[in-house]
Structure 1
Amino acid sequence: MAYTTAQALLEEFWDCRLPVDPAYFAERLGLTVKYSYDLGLKSGYLDVETKEICVNATECQERQRFTIAHELGHYCLGHGSSFRDTSNPQWVQQYDPQKEMFADQFAADLLMPALAMKAVIDIRGIKDPVQLRKMFRVSPAAMYVRLKRLGYAHG
């Protein structure tokens, strides 16, 4: 089965517990997540041939989780390998902002499922962004963007 949306992955594999574990979904799709101290300023990349997602081990856990989910997005959306190196002029020429946007959206949808966000905010009454980001284990920026996209934040 092809999973072209985070929602499809969630429906197939998610146990409804928070926080969502993106590495679990990668594993379910036959991908291996590896952590490297040799990535410099790069957050990570997807290698389709080896079926590996490589993540920068020096970054905070929230960033690592988002990177795994982002690379999983590239994989599910059929974007191919995604070694992103903004310091390399050749890569900058191949950069596709639309693919990056789609992968970011996939990551947000996976890590902060709309149904879970709405349940936590509307039913449990937890509206504090700091509490929410800790519950979903995402960065402040990721939570703000998600809250805005779901209509809970303005500006």
Structure 2
Amino acid sequence: MSLARRVTLPAAILSLAIGAAAYAQQEFSGAINARQGHMQIMAFNVGILGNMARGNTEYDAEAATTAASNLAALAMVDGRGYWVPGSDNGAVENTRALPAIWEDMAGFGADWQAYGEAVTGLQAAAGNGLDALRGAMGPLGNACGACHDDFRQPSD
């Protein structure tokens, strides 16, 4: 095999691999953007409630009820299209979704159901005073944390 061919073949293979990775990134960008946007809206509303619960902002029953209702609405969104196989952090960039999601979809679904149950309790409690809000934040934090521990790459 000539020297030019020995250099060209690995370069071509590397080029194909890079091209495939770029294609995968592009192919999954809609699903990744949708799920990340969904999570950002969740985090925004949890932040409103968390700041009230910690005393960083004044408790406001109307704002607490609205944020909890937003979380409940987000829990009802059918997000199956967000979780496209091959869109994990091992296959594409700019996502913290672990391959464990697809390896244990039942566990992932159970964590999402626990989140929905916690949000239902939070929605019922949020407008009933600061103590009620604080009491309902614990189950929400536990539900979110359980899913993040199992299915999300920690931030660096």
TM-score range, shorter chain: under 0.3
| TM-score normalised to structure 1 length | 0.26
The structure whose residues are more often helix, as a share, is 2
| TM-score normalised to structure 2 length | 0.26
